[in-house]
Amino acid sequence: MKLNLQSIIRSYGIVIAFVMICAVMAVLSPVFLTVTNVLNVIRQSSIFGIMAIGMTFVILTGGIDLSVGSILAVVGAVSAGMLKGGMELLPVVSLALAIGVSCGLANGVLITVGRIAPFVVTLGMMSIARSLTLIYTTGYPISGFAGTFRFIGGGDILGVPFPIVLFLLTASIAWVILTQTRMGRYTYAIGGNEETVKLSGINADFYKTTVYVISGITAAISALILTSRLNSAEPMAGQGYELDVIAAVVIGGTSLNGGRGSVWGTLVGALLIGVINNGMNLLGIPPYFQLLVKGFIIIGAVLLDRLRED
Amino acid sequence: MRMTGISKSFPGVTALKRVDFELSYGEVHALVGENGAGKSTLMKILAGVYRADEGEIWLKNQRVVPKSPKTMIDAGVSVIYQELTLIPYLSVAENIFLGREPLRSNGLIDWSAMWLEVEKLLAPFNLFLNPRSVVHSIGPAFQQVVEIAKALSLKADIIVMDEPTAPLTGSEVARLFEIIRKLKADGVAIAYISHRLEEIHEVADRVTVLRDGERMVTAALSDLTVDEIVSHMVGRKLTEQYPTVEFPAGDELIRVEGLTKKGTCKDVSFSVRSGEILGFAGLVGAGRTEIMQLIYGYRRKDAGRIFLRGREVQLRNTRDAVRCGIALIPEERKKQGLVLGLSVIDNSALSILDLNTSFGFIKWPAIARIVGEMVRSLEIRTPSLYQKVKNLSGGNQQKIVLSKWFARNCDVYIFDEPTRGIDVGAKAEIYKLLLSRARNGAAIILVSSDLPEVMNMATRILVVFGGQIVKEFRRGEATEEQVISCALGLERQSTVEALAAGAHK
Ligand SMILES: Nc1ncnc2c1ncn2[C@@H]1O[C@H](COP(=O)(O)OP(=O)(O)OP(=O)(O)O)[C@@H](O)[C@H]1O
Ligand SMILES: [Mg+2]
């Protein structure tokens, strides 16, 4: 292959955008490249980054999951309630994951067996899970937990914050699944041509359901991190997260039509959004302008990625 | 294998009426019939995709009731479907082994075993195809090879091929036939669907003719001539397949000069007069489709000028082209020609909506009249104008693509493989329509890999090789062999200069 500028941009467009934005930030703010800040950015990215990894599976099949923010809220609230009620750490974590699985399973079954569009099902689930959270919490935050639980969001292993460890772990597992197992290859295949998958004698509905379960699980993991970190479960936690999550996946080069994309892309996409959020705070950009800048950067990043197409 | 008394209806259509079909091991049994006769439906029933309303399937003297494609795959039936059904962004190997990936003991996919296996499968094809290539990037002929390799890898003893040669050209077809003969010698039973009747005589032992969902005849091929098969298919005697193309050409309508795009084509120049049919021959991948897309403004050119009626025009996009009276009828119906989820009328009317509105509102009655007329003259088999296009048979879908542009009056029509997958009767019909447009003064460009078609229809033939025009023939001037040797790049001649000289006169 020839090594010209165009082919480099083609293969690494998003990484280049990422490096460029980081370089600009490093020049503008002396704090940006300090170890504390870098770890801080990654830790903040890890919450929606983990969800974005689950979302990558969903979008690869050509689907969408709008309910992740609400699932995060309901998992956070119930876990917090149980902790307050005196439940041990391990049962709480298991329960949290079980709620994530159930919500995802409900989404998946309605989409495959009920033959309803993913957008509609998960939009409904978004509303239902949010409402359940409000009912459960009666609208008030549940706060103050024991030290062991606080480790999930605040602890570290050999100096690396635990959320980052979870983020990298999730990404690695997802990478193995997507590239090395049938489950993963069928995820791509369904997004590419579902008809063919069915004609090949593969239970496509099973795999389609599974991707929503995976998305539910990653939402539950993020819920534990967020609740632990804030030392509180807010009834409106995770509102609007689905947009950052979907943005991370799309910026990472995964096609919304399905069939094409990667976990590493999503990882970079999530970090990019993290850097933008962090950078704008460091630079003291007023909140009203932050969304504007973010919008432009998201569209710009994907525009750059479009160079691959033609 | 035996299918007896198979019937199948869809809402509004009876696709099959008590059809019997038999396959013995080591036999190639051809299945022919007009577009919409029910061939694909019959094979889909055999594959377990559709459930028959009536009738039985027997395999090796055992009755089977196919519940899903899986049951039939396990029973050794493998189908190469009419429309390519590969997954675009997976590799060749993954497509071949979809659903049967070899696993290592730890449950992960065993890539090296898979690649090795695929290399073994592809070896007899004698071509360079990397099992790791992404299918999306390898071109239609190779994609067909992948489909075939997939069927072979299933170790199926019954293989159904639904129009396998439609996207292939001469030498590739010959290679496919070699493979078919080898399979036959190994005792595999093959059902072979095709509209190219000459092919059938070459590979098949027996033939079954379907008409309107009923079986007309089953006979050994040695007992039937092509003409007899055709008359069974259409229920009447067909006269000339190709109409005579003799009338004076008028003024020059379109002239292309020095059309160039890096990696696609170089210095392509030609002109077409009113009433002329200019044929483009060449191999798949020679760059003909790309050249047409450049002219139509669908892709951007690096250099080159286009003149319409002697005036230079800038065609920046397809809309400019249509406004200037150019129509391009694309080669891939599913991807480029149709909106599959929309109805017949919605699809056919796409090209004429702008001409049939009053105060911004669409005049549906007028459109229904025009489209109804097209459906009748092209003999499109559809229960109504409101049937979704995806429910039509492959050939009828192709006719919808044609109807879309025949419905609009244009100066220049560019046809890219217009008769792919179309039955003999309808072909003759399409040729007549093509000709009537030419007679009314349109300029027609006909890109086709079907050599007899170009040779018989075109008033002049340009042969394209490697993105360049290598030779020009007048009608009746060349033999098929000469055209082929040019298409293979064996005979180069600087016609570019000759053409340029002609253009200056
Ligand atoms: N899913 C479906 N829904 C409704 N009608 C259908 C469906 N599939 C096929 N048909 C109809 O059944 C008839 C037979 O179609 P089939 O695809 O078997 O034709 P074919 O002989 O393969 O034709 P071709 O040569 O054009 O491929 C057609 O009239 C078609 O419109
Ligand atoms: Mg068919």
Cα separation, B442 vs A183, whole angstroms: 54
User: Could you tell me which chain A residue has the CA closest to the CA of B83?
Assistant: A196
Cα separation, B159 vs B253, whole angstroms: 49
Strand partners, B62: B59
The radius of gyration computed from the CA coordinates of chain A, to the nearest angstrom, equals 19
- Backbone φ and ψ for A286, nearest 5 degrees, come out as -60, 145
Q: Which two tokens stand for residue B222?
A: 């040695």
Cα separation, B393 vs B52, whole angstroms: 17
At A307 the three-state DSSP class reads: coil
User: Quick one: B252-497 is in which CATH superfamily?
Assistant: P-loop containing nucleotide triphosphate hydrolases (3.40.50.300)
| Amino acid making up residue B493 | Q
User: B413 falls in which pLDDT band (50, 70, 90)?
Assistant: very high
Burial of B309 (0-12, 13-18, 19+ CB in 10 A): middle
Q: Which two tokens stand for residue A47?
A: 């919450």
Helices A89-112 and A204-230: crossing angle in degrees, nearest 10, is 140
Helices A68-84 and A89-112: crossing angle in degrees, nearest 10, is 150
Burial of B388 (0-12, 13-18, 19+ CB in 10 A): middle
B103 touches chain A (CB under 8 A): yes
Q: How many helices (H) and strands (E) does chain A have?
A: 12, 4
Cα(B397) to centroid(ligand 1), Å: 10
Cα(B204) to centroid(ligand 2), Å: 18
Q: Do B90 and A188 touch (CB under 8 A)?
A: yes
At B215 the three-state DSSP class reads: strand
Query: Tens of pLDDT along B416-475?
Result: 989 888 888 788 888 888 888 888 889 999 999 888 888 888 889 999 988 889 889 988
B25 closest CA partner among B158, B206, B213, B179: B158
Cα separation, B394 vs B120, whole angstroms: 33
Interface of A with B (CB under 8 A): 176, 180-182, 185, 188-189, 192-193, 195-202, 259-260
The residue ranking higher by pLDDT, A227 or B123, is A227
User: Could you tell me which chain A residue has the CA closest to the CA of B70?
Assistant: A201
At B4 the three-state DSSP class reads: strand
Comparing A4-8, A167-171, B182-186, B282-286, the range with the smallest average pLDDT is A4-8
Nearest ligand (C-alpha, residue B41)? 1
Residue nearest to atom 25 of ligand 1 (CA): B35
B249 touches chain A (CB under 8 A): no
Query: Tens of pLDDT along B60-73?
Result: 888 888 888 888 88
Query: Tens of pLDDT along B125-169?
Result: 777 788 999 988 887 778 888 888 888 888 888 999 998 887 777
Cα separation, B423 vs B252, whole angstroms: 33
Task: Please spell the DSSP secondary structure of B234-302, one letter per residue.
Answer: HSS----SSPP------SEEEEEEEEEETTTEEEEEEEEETT-EEEEEE-TTSSHHHHHHHHTTSS--S
Provide the sign of the torsion angle of the four alpha carbons A231, A236, A241, A242, taken in this order.
Answer: positive
Q: Do B69 and A188 touch (CB under 8 A)?
A: no
Q: Looking at residue A263, what is its pLDDT? A: 94
Which DSSP category does B108 fall into?
S
The residue ranking higher by pLDDT, A123 or B222, is A123
Q: Which two tokens stand for residue B350?
A: 């796409």
Q: Which long-range contacts (CB under 8 A, 24 or more apart) does B19-22 make?
A: B19/B55, B19/B210, B19/B213, B19/B214, B19/B215, B20/B215, B20/B218, B21/B191, B21/B208, B21/B215, B21/B218, B22/B218
Cα(B81) to centroid(ligand 1), Å: 13
Residues with CB under 6 A from ligand 1: B 10, 13, 15, 33, 35-41, 82, 381, 391-396, 423
ipTM tops 0.90: no
Structural domain spans, chain A = 37-309
| pTM for the full predicted model | 0.80
Cα separation, B33 vs B195, whole angstroms: 8
Lookup result for tokens 């609007």 = A240
Domain pair B2-234 / B252-497, same fold: yes
Structural domain spans, chain B = 2-234, 252-497
Low-confidence ranges of chain A (pLDDT < 70): 1-11, 305-310
Class of domain A37-309: mainly alpha
Distance between A193 CA and the closest CA of chain B, angstroms? 6
User: Quick one: B2-234 is in which CATH superfamily?
Assistant: P-loop containing nucleotide triphosphate hydrolases (3.40.50.300)
Comparing B118-132, B262-276, B305-319, the range with the smallest average pLDDT is B118-132
Query: What is the distance of C-alpha A179 from the center of its chain?
Result: 19
Count of beta carbons in the 10 Å neighbourhood of residue A126:
21
CB B172 within 8 A of CB B164: no
Q: Looking at residue B493, what is its pLDDT? A: 45
User: Which of A188, A202, A260 minimises the CB distance to B99?
Assistant: A202
Show Cβ contacts of residue B442 under 8 Å, excluding neighbours closer than 6 positions. Answer: B253, B274, B275, B410, B411, B412, B413
Cα separation, B400 vs B337, whole angstroms: 9
Residues of A in contact with B68 (CB under 8 A): 201
What percentage of residues in chain B have a pLDDT greater than 70? 94
- Flag whether pLDDT at B505 surpasses 50: no
Best probe residue, ligand 1, of B13, B192, B200, B389 (max atoms within 8 Å of C-beta): B13
- Flag whether pLDDT at B206 surpasses 90: yes
Query: Tens of pLDDT along B311-349?
Result: 999 988 888 999 899 999 998 888 888 888 899 999 988
User: B490 falls in which pLDDT band (50, 70, 90)?
Assistant: low
The average pLDDT across B44-56 equals 91
- Flag whether pLDDT at B500 surpasses 50: no
Lookup result for tokens 């009620």 = A85
Cα(A67) to centroid(ligand 2), Å: 42
The residue ranking higher by pLDDT, B85 or A175, is A175
User: Which of B69, B81, B101 minimises the CB distance to A198?
Assistant: B69
